[in-house]
Structure 1
């Protein structure tokens, strides 16, 4: 049985590896991922039985891919509801909708609504962000711009990418949807 390592790629974990002639291809692939921001993925590095070559295999789509497909987005939302963390995807979607707005009058109202629904300390759908970010957003509500939620949105996206998405990719809901897409009725 080949020896396998399974982990989320963090580029700094691979910088200190002793590069030798047996493994440069796998490490070069890993190092090239440094250029892809917000693309943390599960990866399997498999050592062949000969012991000299390494293979790199990706496991599952990226969160960005899931969020672009309506069927997967709906399934991911349902999954988050079952885990009592649907506020994360709802906040991210609200921020995405907010960035599409063009009217400055509506922008102010939408910003206030997002703060009230997701960021206010007493909000029913409060998302988990740090106090400083929350206060910075609160101050920006006086004259909101399209980027006032960027820091919180990025934090929530990373949280979903690193925590919720890997669990979703292991869920029965994801596997059923993926199998249905492969085998249309």
Structure 2
């Protein structure tokens, strides 16, 4: 026999409370809804520009500001800490691929472009590569076709995919890691030097 959640006395008390509640009639709901819609005025660009808002930085404290993925990749101390964090997670091939693609873009000679592209493909893209990155089959095939006549943009799609993977997955974990927190603490404590 199932257990009763409420005793009969408790049920009667609740039933009495429900009967005493004034319920709005359907017509009242409709009329109030129409009245409220008339009172709402759309905000225009002029209205928004007239108001003064605090700047983003003024209301955020230093503790809430975290570096973006761009900052991690372009600041040497953050990059070193992020790379060592990725090594600890066995996914440093992502940052190495991204940095290799950045180096590849600055290649000027067509001969250098060809052998660098082949080296990037063999090291990071090719199935069963020693440091294979996580990209889908379609990206692999497009890169393989582009190796016949390599250009500066043949790895762009894969680089963007790896960047987004690091930004969405690795970067948030890094910002919560001990490596980042100690780096942040160290930079705060050395302000007087």
TM score, norm. by length of structure 1: 0.68
Q: Which residue of 2 aligns with 1:140?
A: 146
- Give 5+ residue unaligned stretches, structure 1: 1-19, 22-27, 29-54
Measure how far apart 1:183 and its partner are. Answer: 1.6
Q: Which runs of 4+ in 1 moved over 2 A?
A: 55-59
Measure how far apart 1:56 and its partner are. Answer: 7.7
Q: Which residue of 1 aligns with 2:96?
A: 90
Measure how far apart 1:182 and its partner are. Answer: 1.6
Q: Which residue of 2 aligns with 1:39?
A: none
Choose from 63, 69, 88 the match for 1:63: 69
Matches within 5 A, 1:71-86: 71-86=77-92
Q: Which residue of 2 aligns with 1:172?
A: 178
Q: Which has the higher strand share?
A: 1
Measure how far apart 1:63 and its partner are. Answer: 0.5
For each residue in 1:50-85, what CA deviation from the matched residue of structure 2 results, as whole angstroms up to 9, or x when unmatched?
xxxxx8885511110111110110110000000011
Q: Which residue of 1 aligns with 2:45?
A: none
Q: Could you tell me how far apart the structure 2 residues matched to 1:73 and 1:108 are?
A: 28
Q: Which residue of 2 aligns with 1:115?
A: 121
Choose from 153, 158, 182 the match for 2:188: 182
Choose from 128, 153, 157 the match for 1:151: 157
Aligned alpha-carbon RMSD (Å): 2.0
Q: Could you tell me how far apart the structure 1 residues matched to 2:69 and 2:184 are?
A: 15
Measure how far apart 1:128 and its partner are. Answer: 0.4
Q: Could you tell me how far apart the structure 1 residues matched to 2:102 and 2:163 are?
A: 11
Q: Could you tell me how far apart the structure 2 residues matched to 1:182 and 1:59 are?
A: 13
- Give 5+ residue unaligned stretches, structure 2: 1-39, 42-47, 49-58
Measure how far apart 1:178 and its partner are. Answer: 1.2
Aligned residues: 134
Q: Which has the higher helix share?
A: 2
